[in-house]
Structure 1
Amino acid sequence: MSARRAGAALALVLALAACGTPEQPKAAPAPVPSSVPVTVPFKGLRPTSVKIHKIGAESSLLAVAVKPDGSISVPSVHTPMQAAWYKLSPVPGDVGPAIVLGHVDGDKKPGIFYKLKDLVPGDEVDVDRSDGRKLKFVVDRVTQVPKDTFPREAVYGNSDKPELRLITCGGAFDHAEHSYQDNIVVYAKLADA
């Protein structure tokens, strides 16, 4: 599947999925309860871990996909320190934007990407892969965007080089909607690519 097709399939669900309390847009189906397994074991080439030394974030990576109801599988909010890779996006290090998501919080505790908003251009993100490659990505930019104007093309659009997108929730928490109002998106490029 091309990065553009994968991005289009994901665009309506991912913008809200990587949050402490996942919510879908009003037009999309409600999320499946977190007791549903995240995914079956992924046997292909995949990223195995993500590390961001500056913010003390380190996690193995689950491989997740969009479920038949249109929502995306995400790690349980009861395990907020677990990050995930969207397996219909490129494998980090391959051409295109690889998507990694994580909770900002969950179960009244900080999540794996709690400090994602603190990254700045030049910060480094390490990703290990199942083939033994150890990759270094360099942050290009960090944005905070309202969920209703999520920059789909910028996040999921094709690129001619290996890139990485890290996504979590941010901004104010809307207690009535049980969701954060914004997303934090980190754009990074493979070092020396």
Structure 2
Amino acid sequence: MTTARWRRWLAIAAIGATLTACGSPSEPQPAPAAPPTSTPPAPVSTTTTAAPVDGPLPHSRPVKLEVPSIGVSTGPIIDLGLADDGALEVPGDAVTTGWFTGSPSPGETGPAVLAAHVDYNHVPGTFNRLKDTKPGDQAIVHRADGTTAVFTVYRVERYPKSQFPTDDVYGDTAGPELRMITCGGAFDRSTRNYADNVVAYARLSQAYRG
């Protein structure tokens, strides 16, 4: 078992609690209006200053995420580790996205994991519309080493938290992949948490520098 895989498995027992915590502590808010269906996602294109890079890529932490189809363009991405109780940490506000450092960095072989809230304290979260992503959508990760890794979504699923498919999400993959995770489904007003998790699965489709 690789070091990265072992570190991911350390979080398995706590994944349910971790993803429960990605819900809102307040009343959920309606999702922002979707962009007109006639407007296609902005394509990613390399320019004369961008040099293609063969993957898999070396280790380099993510610094920004863009998902044009759902209007996501993040600020700096924070590191998420394990809390004292063994649970995966989650961002502390609605607009911050976190990278689980127990997973590969985006572009390395294996499933890089990015997590963000669906909403938080009456504010729609970064992944408020993650459930609306579709196969073919792009997730663009800018990395600290100056490379950009472009992932193409191939699957979007919603799971009851009691049936979270840990190995599908965190298990080893043949090539570089990305997992974007948030909460979804019904909102339980008594616990102020969501019943389900939404996971978007994507594969590396291109990488470039510049």
TM-score bracket, shorter-length normalisation = 0.7 to 0.9
Report the Cα offset of residue 177 of structure 1. 1.9
Match of 1:52 among 67, 80, 100: 67
Hey, what does 2:108 align to over in structure 1? 94
Q: Which amino acid aligns with 2:23?
A: C
- Select the structure of larger CA radius of gyration: 2
Question: For residues 154 and 3 of structure 1, what CA distance do their matches in structure 2 show?
Answer: 15
Contact 2:24 2:192 in 1 (8 A): no
RMSD: 1.8
Q: How many residues align?
A: 170
Report the Cα offset of residue 54 of structure 1. 0.9
Matches within 5 A, 1:112-131: 112-131=126-145
Question: For residues 172 and 182 of structure 1, what CA distance do their matches in structure 2 show?
Answer: 7
Hey, what does 2:77 align to over in structure 1? 61
What is the SS of the residue equivalent to 1:191?
A: strand
Hey, what does 1:7 align to over in structure 2? 8
When residues 118 and 99 of structure 1 are mapped into structure 2, their CA distance, relative to the original with a 3 A threshold, is same
Contact 1:117 1:142 in 2 (8 A): yes
Question: For residues 93 and 150 of structure 1, what CA distance do their matches in structure 2 show?
Answer: 24
Report the Cα offset of residue 136 of structure 1. 0.4
Corresponding position: 1:167 with 2:168: no
Hey, what does 2:32 align to over in structure 1? none
Report the Cα offset of residue 138 of structure 1. 0.2
Identity percentage of aligned residues: 39
Contact 1:3 1:156 in 2 (8 A): no
Report the Cα offset of residue 112 of structure 1. 0.2
Match of 1:73 among 80, 84, 89: 89
Return 5+ residue gaps in structure 1 as ranges: 22-43
Report the Cα offset of residue 143 of structure 1. 0.1
Hey, what does 1:18 align to over in structure 2? 22
Return 5+ residue gaps in structure 2 as ranges: 26-58
Match of 2:170 among 142, 151, 156: 156
Report the Cα offset of residue 127 of structure 1. 0.1
Contact 2:21 2:193 in 1 (8 A): no
Q: Which amino acid aligns with 1:63?
A: D
Q: Deviations over 1:138-177 (max 9, x none)?
A: 0010000000000001000101200000000000001122
Q: Which amino acid aligns with 2:20?
A: L
Q: Which amino acid aligns with 1:138?
A: T
TM-score, normalised with respect to structure 1: 0.83
When residues 15 and 4 of structure 1 are mapped into structure 2, their CA distance, relative to the original with a 3 A threshold, is farther
